[in-house]
């Protein structure tokens, strides 16, 4: 009873003015909440419209590309190039041993398991494929040399980057990771190549720089096969310490 009396006194002693304050506060809060809810729904609707617009634009661009005979032709060739790069990579990886360690094959195929030697897989695979591809799509594309230079550069950098990234953690090589990196790199290579092939014509200096890059890269791949620098990137990762020297001796007679 005493507790109920105390509670009744606190309620009875509360000022009517204080209670009246809660009415406008509650009203304002209700109005604000309703307004916020309405604006949230409106923004959600706007966001949905924007997303639909973006998706619609992407679909329109894809449809436009598919409906363009020239772009479709280029897309097919670049897609087939991915498969060729993967297949060529497999063949070139074992070609040196399959041919009895031929010196001439050593120009194009890896002679050991060094990082540098494995750059031959993508480079020469793409060069061989490009020699054929050019005659079929030359009238449908721009920037052919620049596209191939950018594609091979992306592939090489991706493969090297993945290799040194994971070996810095594992401190050992994992062939499955290397193979996966090469396959993904092949997709990246051809995707970049496709985008440049269907873009507007680039300045002549870009094509000139691309020719220089491809030429220098090809020369270095051959030179460093027979005279590799003293760096772990050029050294065999497996126990084949004399293979470079043996190949060099047989080449120079």
Return the HEC string of the chain: CHHHHHHHHHHHCCCHHHHHHHHHHHHHHHHHHHHHHHHHHHHHHHHHHHHHHHHHHHHHHHHHHHHCHHHHHHHHHHHHHHHHHHHHHHHHHHHHHHCCCCHHHHCCCCCCCCCCCCHHHHHHHHHHHHHHHHHHHCCCCCCHHHHHHHHHHHHHHHHHHHHHHHHHHHCCCCHHHHHHHHHHHHHHHHHHHHHHHCCCCCCHHHHHHHHHHHHHHHHHHHHHHHCCCCCHHHCCCCCCCCHHHHHHHHHCC
CA–CA distance, 180 with 183 (Å, rounded to integer): 5
Distance, first Cα to last Cα, the chain:
117
**pLDDT for position 235:** 81
**pTM (predicted TM-score):** 0.68
Non-local CB neighbours of 183 within 8 Å, separated by 6+ positions: 86
**pLDDT for position 60:** 53
CA–CA distance, 130 with 40 (Å, rounded to integer): 54
CA–CA distance, 193 with 24 (Å, rounded to integer): 66
Contact indicator for 189, 152 with CB cutoff of 8 Å: yes
Longest dimension (CA), the chain: 117
Contact indicator for 81, 133 with CB cutoff of 8 Å: yes
**pLDDT for position 185:** 97
CA–CA distance, 29 with 207 (Å, rounded to integer): 66
Tokens 């399959």 belong to which residue?
Answer: 98
CA atoms within 13 A on the CB side of 66: 6
**pLDDT for position 70:** 82
- The pLDDT tens digits along the chain (253 residues) read 444 444 344 334 444 444 443 344 444 444 444 444 444 455 454 445 445 544 555 455 445 555 678 899 999 999 999 999 999 999 999 999 999 999 999 999 999 999 999 999 999 999 999 999 999 999 889 999 999 999 999 999 999 999 999 999 999 999 999 999 999 999 999 999 999 999 999 999 999 999 999 999 999 999 999 999 988 898 876 434 334 434 433 333 3
Residues 117, 119, 122: CA angle, nearest 5 degrees: 135
Contact indicator for 175, 115 with CB cutoff of 8 Å: no
């Amino acid at each position: 009873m005493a507790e109920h009396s105390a509670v009744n006194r606190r309620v009875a002693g509360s000022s009517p003015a204080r209670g009246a304050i809660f009415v406008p506060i509650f009203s304002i809060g209700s109005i604000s909440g309703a307004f916020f809810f309405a604006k949230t729904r409106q923004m959600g609707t706007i966001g949905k419209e924007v997303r639909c617009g973006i998706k619609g634009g992407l679909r329109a661009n894809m449809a436009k590309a598919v409906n363009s005979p020239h772009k479709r032709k280029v897309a097919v060739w670049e897609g087939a190039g991915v498969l060729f790069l993967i297949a060529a990579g497999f063949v070139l990886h074992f070609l040196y041993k399959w041919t009895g360690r031929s010196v001439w094959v050593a120009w194009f195929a890896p002679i050991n398991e060094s990082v540098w030697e494995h750059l031959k897989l993508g480079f020469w695979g793409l060069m061989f494929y490009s020699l054929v591809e050019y005659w079929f799509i030359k009238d449908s594309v721009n920037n052919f040399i620049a596209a191939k230079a950018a594609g091979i550069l992306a592939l090489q950098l991706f493969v090297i980057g993945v290799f040194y990234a994971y070996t810095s953690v594992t401190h050992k090589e994992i062939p499955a990771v290397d193979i996966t990196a090469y396959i993904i790199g092949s997709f990246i290579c051809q995707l970049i190549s496709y985008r440049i092939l269907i873009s507007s014509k680039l300045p002549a200096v870009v094509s000139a720089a691309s020719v220089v890059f491809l030429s220098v890269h090809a020369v270095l791949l051959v030179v460093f096969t027979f005279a590799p620098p003293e760096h772990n990137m050029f050294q065999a990762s497996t126990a084949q310490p004399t293979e470079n020297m043996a190949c060099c001796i047989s080449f120079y007679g």
